[in-house]
Structures are given as structure tokens and as C-alpha cells.
Structure 1
């Protein structure tokens, strides 16, 4: 068997991820591999289209049709084609039509269905994952701030910032700080410590435009009003001073975040940290009201990472909040019911609105110690969970082996893991597994304690020997994983605070966290930690101290930058942020911003975090990805109900969007290509909140052509006399992508639809209209529709000559189109065969003989007829030259006897048909012109004007002709 591969000049383009929804690919927006691209040509009746070629986008998102064509033939030069893009069920590591959707701004890039001619390039396609949609390159950020002391007392510990916000691109030291820069603003305070206490996890609801925050055990820092199980909800846009509410106490609904039995332990007296799950009140913990007053807080030392809460995150649709409970080592899922107005569950709601799952223990040996989870990330429909094997047993003892000594010690059995978890299948799967012995500058040691201190190693020369917690997980534009590792000791220490003996320790602890990068292997099974050549790091995080990062991080999609919490970002004894070029790992010059400063400790002995962990999780604000609906209003020239290459769109059509109450809430006008779109730029549904622009998710709407342009089943204006084509016709392409969806209801052209989740754009709502051929004789012959002129529906199976074009109305013209006006001017660019220029559609009938009264004359006829049945050609000639057709002017003799010529099913080419010229024909003595009209239809029976007797519009064509005449007595001939 021979297989022929046809090489052609390529139709080509790029599929890409459009993070900002502008429909254009920027340098930071990657191409997408695995998109299926199909090329369709037009097909003769009864087929609707034909598949010519199929391609799949490559690693950089590009494709072309230069190699293999499915049909075995090339697209012809100038051929009219339809291109369709399909997002597959699953392709490679990061393409899945369950989470990836058609991009916004279809009018810019062209949607998933596009029309081209010949070998066209730059046929591009945009997709989006709603969880990475960004409306701004400078969004707000949210971060908790830690203050020592009891925030629930009437002291200075109660009035400090507990949750703040600032802009992503903010840089410098705030002007109000020690050594501040002029013009640099302070972070904006959203909640005080009295309102929230110590927090770590942050989740921003794009739908509600509110911020969830979760309590955390941080030694020396008190809990807020809700205690260790507290979840708070902040409205950063509220004009009220009090922007934060006590949203949920997990312990109060039976989800314990610490031990419910026993009491706060007495000071053990041996200067060791007691191993207990009971968390006392801030007063029981001995936390003072003053923010700079030392405290011992001895039980908290061991409890860091073991009680209260870790990270939190929220699903892309804003429906589910996920919480890491460090005490029972479970993930909790809370159904918020209404993403726009999140509802806290009561204890009675727990069985129906709360689910939980145990975090797997990846350990295979007792020497690896207890598994300790913390970090959470919701990404592409799954949760990613950070876990460490701590090398500490349940009783607080270090297990396994520790190599080295002093500041060079390393826990040999310490390991880190990231699981993915599917909430639908409820299955965990390891995606990253690595040893913490990878040679970094500040070594990782087991979780533990020693007499006098909550950690095993602490002295002036061991202050950057760290205990690992995988505290944060993010993903970049290419789907690579970023892993933030928090130094647990940074949550146990600060400066000028007490050891377990109650004595102030002057050693300033400098936390030593980490930012790791892991790339997904080609099998899509596991991630692998990568580093820069010749380094143990990918990100250049040795900024002031070795390993200056503290764990929390965030990534701005489409921008290429990762932002991380860092100690001493600009000046000494401070905390803030710094940005990294995610492509190179280098620090972005000048990108640091200081959130707090403790430089007062340079001249005082104030207890404060300083270089230890002074900040919690780092979260980007955003808005829910908008929804765009719409697509095309077009002329279905070949009447098959399927959009074909070469079939023109209809400009200037007013399309309206109506809500469920049938109120018009938006309107738009089709562009030059017939496209229309409803999105965040032109829709504000009054039934929804002001925070949601564009069509609302999961909402029913009606889209209709404005009744001013279509009513009683027929169009006016740009749709003059047009009617809807057939609905829901199936071609070879994707279902419902290239058909007409409009139904005729109550005389209106309308589409009933329901939207899906944010970011799930739908460009499948199309209106197809049938178009008509009109005449162009002077209107005394009845040419315009309003005068009762002739009209034929275009149909590829039946027309006169080599082509026929469509018009919106009859076009009376003294020269009947011979000059610049009339039918031959092709004013709406719709013609058959589809895509032909059809500069002269009056090309199927010519006078082949002279016209002599009382003698026979003939016309030469060419007709396309593939209807499968006979058709009829009728004719009229103004024999008396009176400027109108009357009964005697209809051809009804010779070949035209019986009301017209019967055209065979195969059509005719240059066939001569003859008729008798009336003996009394005068042609208006002295006239130099002859007007005639010919009409082709399936059944005949037509007049020189109008439509079928039953009111339907015949298919076929009307040809109007003006011929110059020469006369000699009663001898008349065509003066060609």
C-alpha cells in the first residue's frame, strides 16, 4: 500500500497561555503544547465540510500544516478554510480541558473557530487557566505581621499591625521607618493584633474580594479572639475602620486544633520544653501586654508546627476553603456555599459541609521521625501538600543520625515531600521526594530541643542552623513548582527574649529558610529539585545572610517574577519582600520592600522578632477570571447551517443580553467580522455584586438580536429580509462550535444559555442567517423589496452562470449593473460558490440572436443545478418598451412554453433556448436599450416580482439585464 504525504506551504500559528486576557501573546506568556488544530474546507451538498489537515502544537505552542494532510490533498491557493482549535482531555503534564479553557478577548485572537484563505500564517489561539488569570501586573499583596506579647490585653501588643497589604511592585523603606526613603508608603493595616493575633495562612477569595486568615502558633506571640483554631475574614475594600470579622472557630465546631483535655503545663523546672498538645490562653502562656516585654512561653517552643493551623488555600471557583490542621495532621475542606458571600459552617453543618483527609505518613523507618505537614496549594483542580519527616519522635526526642557538629550538623534522615491530592478521587500521590542534605550554606537539622531552649542547637555560631517546614508551594507559568521552606526555629525565637530559665538571651536569631525550584519530569510523574550550575541554589537567596529567605512566597502569573519573604531586605533588623526573576533565579535589582523594622533594638533591649520570622504567608490579590460569551453573526451562504470559510460575518447588528427576568442588561454591536462578545468590559449584571464584572457565573441568560433589527421572524437594517438558518446542524468539527444556535421564538432570534465557572469562556453562541439575491433593473420594473421586487434565497445547488452574489435589497440602477452600481457591485461580499469574488453575477444568460418581431430569438443559458430534480427558468422582456413588465412580456413560447424552460438535474452550460418575439413588439420606437429579467427556481410559477405564491422564498437566482439595441425598421438586434 502506498501512502502519499503532501507537503504544502504552511497554514501556521501559535497556541499560548493568555494570563492577562488581552488576546495577545507577550514574551512572558508561554506557548502551549498539545492543542489539536484542524483544517476544514467547504464541501458540496449534501456534505457540510471536509477535513483537510490536522496538527498538534509543539513544545513552543507552534503548529503548521506543511508536513501531513489527513485528506491527502493540499489546501488550494486562495481556498476558503475553517480552522478549529481543540483543548484535549489530557495532554502532557499541564494541559487538560477540565481546567484549561478558551481565552478571553476572542475578538482579538479569533476564538477557537477561525476563517482563513489559502496559506495564511499567525492563526493563533489563546487559552487560560482561571486560577492564573491576572488583571494587573501590580496587584495588592497580603501578609501577617508578628508582634510579641498578648494582643488581647490592654497594652501595646494589642495595637500593632496584624495583617497588612501593599502593592506587588512596591519597593524601598517606608518613609516613616528608621532610615526610610521619601515617598515610600507604609503597608496598609487591615487588622490589628487585637483583632487577629498571630496568623500564618492567607487565602484571598477572588469572588468575594475578601481575605481568609488562619491562626498560628508562634512562640512569644498571642492568639487572637478565636484562639488556635481561628479563621478570620477581612474585607480590604471596606470603608469601615473595622474590616475584619471573627469568621470561624474550628474548635467550637468540633474540629480540634489542640488538646481538649488537661491543662497548661507547669514549668518543668529542668529548662526543657514540655511536649503537650494543650494550648493555654495568652495569660496562661505568660504573655505580657507590652510588645517589647520578654516572655518565656515555654510550652509553645515544642508546639510550633504541631498545634493550631498551618497554610490555607481556596479553590479556583471560590467555593471551598482548605485548611491544614497541624494538630490532627488533616486537611479540612469547608464548603463556603456562596463564593461571593462565604458562609461559615455551624456545628450542625459539619456533616454536610466539612470533609477531611489524613495526611499520609511517607516514613518507612522510625528513624525518620514524625511526619509534619504545613504547606497547601490549590492548583489545577488539585491540592498540593508539603510534608517533612522531622527526625523527631512523638515524645520530642531526636531519632536517626546526625552527621557533623556545630554549625555543620545535618539530619541524615530529614526528608521533604509534596503530595498532590485530588478532592474528587480522594487520592494522594507523591510528586516530590527529596533529602534535606543537599549541601546548602545553612544546614538542616532535626526538630528537637535541649535544656534551656526549644531547639536542639542554638548559640551565636549556630543561629542559622535550621529546622525545616515546607510552608508554601507555588507554581510558575510553565508549571514548575516553587517550594518555600520555613525555618521552624524562626517561629521559636527573636531577639532579647527569654530562654526557658526565664533569662533574657541576647543572641539574635537569624532564620534560615529556603526557596527551592522543582521541574516536572517528561513523564509528568515526579518533580525534581534543580539548581543553578555550580550552586546548591536555583534562586540567589544569599542576600545579607546565608539563606535569607523565610519560606512564604508567591508568583505573579505572566510576569515571570517570584516574590518571597526575606530578612533584612534592605536595612538591618527588618523583614520584607524581594523579587526573583523566575527564569534565571536572580534577584530583580531594586525590588526589595521593607514591611517592618526593628532597628530600635540597636540601641535598646526590646524583645521583638528582628531577623527571626516576623511575617506570615504571602498572598496575591486578584479578581475572579471574567466570563466572556458570544461569537458570530454570519451569512449562511450555502444554507447548510454550518460556518464555512468564505461566508461573511454581518457587521452592525445589535445583540442584546437579557437576564432571567428578561431585562436587557447589556448590548453590543457586531464588528466588521460579525463578531460580538459580552464580557467584563460591557456587562455589569445588576443581579450580582459590584465585585463581579461581566456575565455572572452559573447564571441563565438570553442573547437575542435586537427587536429593532429582527422581529416577526425577519430582519431589517443590516439583516434586511434575512431569516434564521437551520439550528444545531452538525459538521465534522467540534459539536456546537461552528453551527447556528439561534431559535425563532415569538418572532425573535434568540439563544438561551447558562454560564459556567469564572474563566470558562464560551464562544459557541452563533446566529446564522440566510441571504438573498435581488435584481437591479430600474424600479419601474419592480426591483426593490418594498415595491414587491424579486428575491431568491442563495443555495449552492441552484444558480445561473458561474456565480451568484447576495444583496440586502434590490438595487435599481439605470444601467442594470453595467456600470458601478446595482447587483454586480457585490455589496455584502456573500457569493456562491463560497468565496468567489463574483464581480459579475449576471453572467449566465446572453442573447445569441437578433430580435425580429414575428420571428424566433434565442438566449444562451448556463445553470448550475445539483438539486437532484428539474428546475425552471422563467423570463420577461419589455417588448413594448414601456418601462414595466406586463403579461405579454413573459416568455411563454418555444422552449419557454408552459411557463419556462425546464433545466435538467445536471444543469446546462451554454445551451441555447429560443422563444417567439411577438409580432407587435415595438421595443419603444427609437429605443437603444432592452430590459429583461430571468428567474431560476425549483418549481417556477413566479411573477416578474415577488416570491412564491405561498409566501416562501424560492431558492435560485434572478438575473436582470440591459442590452444596447440597434434598429433598422422592424429589425432589432443586440448591439454588442
Structure 2
């Protein structure tokens, strides 16, 4: 009896263990079923427009006056990708820039929209109310998923007659009758204009349709000019006989806000090694009429032309003293109305030997141009004889900063 009584608990233990194992197996199967349950697939569409943002402000501007409006861009690829990384829809923009992207079987209702295959020479415009950049995250069913793009070298001017900025160089001598060997700067020289804005159709010496953007006291004598957007003007220090150098020195590049209605100008960058002012530090009694100290300096010290790249990200300047090209990064402000700032200048050697047949010592770079990824630099053979006077234009690729094998 005792032997059988002792054996009964063992049978109950084995049964309990079987019950626990069965419960664990059932729970595992249940969990497996829950994990394997697929998410509901999402279908629908996303719509929007890709347009050419002519003034790069992130807003699709309507037609106004002589401006036809920001127009649609055809042939841009639009792709929807879901949270698993799978492509769930592909389309291209129509002739008017619009698109309807059908999305099928997406893992969730949230998708990633990417715009690709922009036409050659185009880039994404400034992010704004009507431009969410080339990658956007939206929900299926979203409308107005737009992209603004800007074509390099194609920037709209403000409506109406375009305005032209012209530097003006003022002699320190007030009038011809007042010229003398001891004549000093005129008392009102600092307040005279150094940078003027006039209408595109202006001719002669207009008394009315001109606006002073900066004064001699603010920027001094300048020559090279460039625009940053529709609001800001850049100007470069220039050495000329009979005129004063601006407060920033021979290597200064000044920034002027042309929209304020008040003359202004501050140095935004300084190009190094731009030379030394040949005139004495103390100009009291200096012979401005003959300006003999400055006779041979024009074209040899200070800056020549300046230019801003089509994408408005780089300012280029010719240094007349070391005869090199300088690239200055431009950093956009937080808004269209905000002034840009400048990074550190970087020197680029100009191939003076591209002026074939001219002694490099007589080669002078000066002019600049920028168009769709290339910068063009002028070279002039200045001697030693009149018969040696010739000019070249050499192209430089902005991406590689390599100059062309042959001048243009």
C-alpha cells in the first residue's frame, strides 16, 4: 500500500508538466499569429506642381505686368516610397508642371516623395510657402506638394523697367577752376555718390531718374559690381588717379542694400594681398592735380571685376596685384530680405600663359563673367609695344576650378 501511495504524486507531477507545456505551446502559437499579421495596405494619390521660381523666393508668383508668372516645368520625376523602403508609385510632371502620383499598397498612409531628373541647369529653389524641397514626407491624399526650381542664369528682375547700377568715380578736386597743385579733398566729397541706380532706358546725364545707393565716404572708388538677388549689390574697391580709396582698403568688397532708399555700404569681404596704396599716409597738401604717386598703380593694385555665380553661392573677384582669381563663399540669410554673409576667400591661379605669344609679366587679368557653371576671365597683353596689345577670354569650370585648354 505504501509503495502505491508514494507513486501517485509522481503521476500528478507528470500531468502538471504536460499541461504547462501545452499552455506554453499555445501561447507561442498565438504570439506567432499576432506577429505575422500584416498591416493594412494604403492606396490613394498625391498631387502637386513643379514650377520655375524665377526670383528664387520659394513662392509661386502669379503673372503681373510684364512678368508672365512662375511657369510649370515638365518631365520631372516624382516617386513615392513607403516606410519599408518599397517604391509605391512613380510618375512625371506634365507640360504645365502638374502631376498626380498614384500610390498603391503602401505599408502606411505616410510616404516619402522625391523629385528627380530635374532639367539640365536647374536646381531646387529656396524653400518657402510653395516649395518643400526635392524630398518631402506627406500623407496619401495630400495636395499642393509642390517644388520650385531655378534655372542657373535665369533670374527675373522686378516688375517694370529694370534698374541698372553704375559706379561713379569722383575727383577730390571740386571743379576745374579750383584745380591746383595743393588742392585737397573737397569738403562734401564723402557725401557724393559712389554708386548710382538708374532706369534701363536712361541715357545721358539724368537729373531725375537716378538714386544714390552708396556714397564716397561709405565705399570710396569702386569699379566691379555684381548683384545678389534683387535686393543687394556688391562692389569692389578700385584704384584710380585723383580719387580716394574707400574705408575698407584696396581689397574691400562692399555690400549695399538697394531697397532701403538710403545710401549705405559695408565691407562684406576683403581680398588679401591686393597691394599697397602708393600715396603718402598724410594727404595734407598732396598734389591731387598730378597725382604722380598713383601714376602707374591703376590696373596693378586693388581689384578688377567681380561676379556672382549663377547659383548665388560664390563671389569671384580678380586681384590685380597678385593676378589671381579669388572665390568667396556666400551664405544666404534666413529670408530673401536678409543680407548674405561671406566666407574666407580662396585663391585660384589664373593661367597667364593662355595669353599665347605674350610675356606673362605683361599679362593683366581684369574682367569676369559667370554663366551656367563656368567663369570667364579676361586677359590683356599690355606691352611692351603697341603692337602687343591683344586680349583673351579663358573659361574656368566652377566645379573643378580647372581652366580650359584653349582661350575662348
Query: Which TM-score applies when normalising by structure 2?
Result: 0.56
Instruction: State yes or no: 1:357 paired with 2:386.
Output: no
Q: Evaluate the alpha carbon distance shift between residue 53 and residue 377 of structure 1 in structure 2; reply closer, same or farther with a 3 A threshold.
A: same
Query: For the residues of structure 2 that align with 1:353 and 1:14, how far apart are their CA atoms?
Result: 38
The alpha carbon displacement at 1:197 in A equals: 3.0
Give unmatched runs, 5+ long, in structure 1: 1-10, 66-72, 76-81, 178-184, 261-277, 289-294, 345-351, 403-410, 435-976
In structure 1, the partner of 2:375 is 385
In structure 2, the partner of 1:256 is 273
The 5 Å alignment of 1:99-114 reads 100-101=124-125, 104-106=128-130
In structure 2, the partner of 1:126 is 148
Q: Evaluate the alpha carbon distance shift between residue 84 and residue 222 of structure 1 in structure 2; reply closer, same or farther with a 3 A threshold.
A: same
Q: Is the 8 A contact 1:196 1:232 kept in 2?
A: yes
User: What SS is found at the alignment partner of 1:428?
Assistant: coil
Query: For the residues of structure 2 that align with 1:399 and 1:216, how far apart are their CA atoms?
Result: 27
Query: For the residues of structure 1 that align with 2:341 and 2:61, how far apart are their CA atoms?
Result: 38
Instruction: State yes or no: 1:86 paired with 2:115.
Output: yes
Give unmatched runs, 5+ long, in structure 2: 1-45, 105-110, 175-183
In structure 2, the partner of 1:35 is 76
The 5 Å alignment of 1:409-448 reads 411=390, 414-422=391-399, 427-430=401-404, 433-434=407-408
Instruction: State yes or no: 1:223 paired with 2:197.
Output: no
Q: Evaluate the alpha carbon distance shift between residue 379 and residue 84 of structure 1 in structure 2; reply closer, same or farther with a 3 A threshold.
A: farther
RMSD: 5.8
Q: 1:311 aligns with which of 295, 305, 313?
A: 305
User: What SS is found at the alignment partner of 1:366?
Assistant: coil
Q: Is the 8 A contact 1:198 1:218 kept in 2?
A: yes
Query: For the residues of structure 2 that align with 1:218 and 1:357, how far apart are their CA atoms?
Result: 25
Q: Is the 8 A contact 1:148 1:221 kept in 2?
A: yes
Q: Is the 8 A contact 1:16 1:31 kept in 2?
A: yes
Q: Is the 8 A contact 2:392 2:407 kept in 1?
A: yes
Instruction: State yes or no: 1:202 paired with 2:225.
Output: yes
Query: For the residues of structure 2 that align with 1:113 and 1:249, how far apart are their CA atoms?
Result: 42
The 5 Å alignment of 1:431-510 reads 433-434=407-408
Q: What does the per-residue CA deviation read over 1:2-30, in whole Å, with 9 as the maximum and x for residues that have no partner?
A: xxxxxxxxx99974312244436864656
Query: For the residues of structure 2 that align with 1:127 and 1:219, how far apart are their CA atoms?
Result: 46
Q: Is the 8 A contact 2:213 2:258 kept in 1?
A: yes
Q: What does the per-residue CA deviation read over 1:245-269, in whole Å, with 9 as the maximum and x for residues that have no partner?
A: 567776xxxx332358xxxxxxxxx
Q: Evaluate the alpha carbon distance shift between residue 283 and residue 137 of structure 1 in structure 2; reply closer, same or farther with a 3 A threshold.
A: farther
The 5 Å alignment of 1:366-765 reads 366-367=357-358, 370-376=362-368, 384-393=374-383, 396-398=384-386, 411=390, 414-422=391-399, 427-430=401-404, 433-434=407-408
The alpha carbon displacement at 1:390 in A equals: 1.9
Q: Evaluate the alpha carbon distance shift between residue 143 and residue 237 of structure 1 in structure 2; reply closer, same or farther with a 3 A threshold.
A: same
In structure 2, the partner of 1:19 is 54
Query: For the residues of structure 2 that align with 1:13 and 1:305, how far apart are their CA atoms?
Result: 53
In structure 2, the partner of 1:192 is 215
The alpha carbon displacement at 1:309 in A equals: 0.6
In structure 2, the partner of 1:327 is 321
The alpha carbon displacement at 1:325 in A equals: 1.0
Q: Is the 8 A contact 1:368 1:390 kept in 2?
A: no
Q: Evaluate the alpha carbon distance shift between residue 379 and residue 283 of structure 1 in structure 2; reply closer, same or farther with a 3 A threshold.
A: farther
Query: For the residues of structure 2 that align with 1:47 and 1:342, how far apart are their CA atoms?
Result: 40
Query: For the residues of structure 2 that align with 1:12 and 1:245, how far apart are their CA atoms?
Result: 46
User: What SS is found at the alignment partner of 2:250?
Assistant: helix
Q: Is the 8 A contact 1:85 1:125 kept in 2?
A: no
Q: Evaluate the alpha carbon distance shift between residue 328 and residue 28 of structure 1 in structure 2; reply closer, same or farther with a 3 A threshold.
A: farther
Q: Is the 8 A contact 2:355 2:381 kept in 1?
A: no
Q: What does the per-residue CA deviation read over 1:779-804, in whole Å, with 9 as the maximum and x for residues that have no partner?
A: xxxxxxxxxxxxxxxxxxxxxxxxxx
Give the number of the structure whose residues are more often helix, by fraction: 2
User: What SS is found at the alignment partner of 2:404?
Assistant: strand
Q: What does the per-residue CA deviation read over 1:306-350, in whole Å, with 9 as the maximum and x for residues that have no partner?
A: 321123356799887543211112233557899668789xxxxxx
Larger Rg: 1
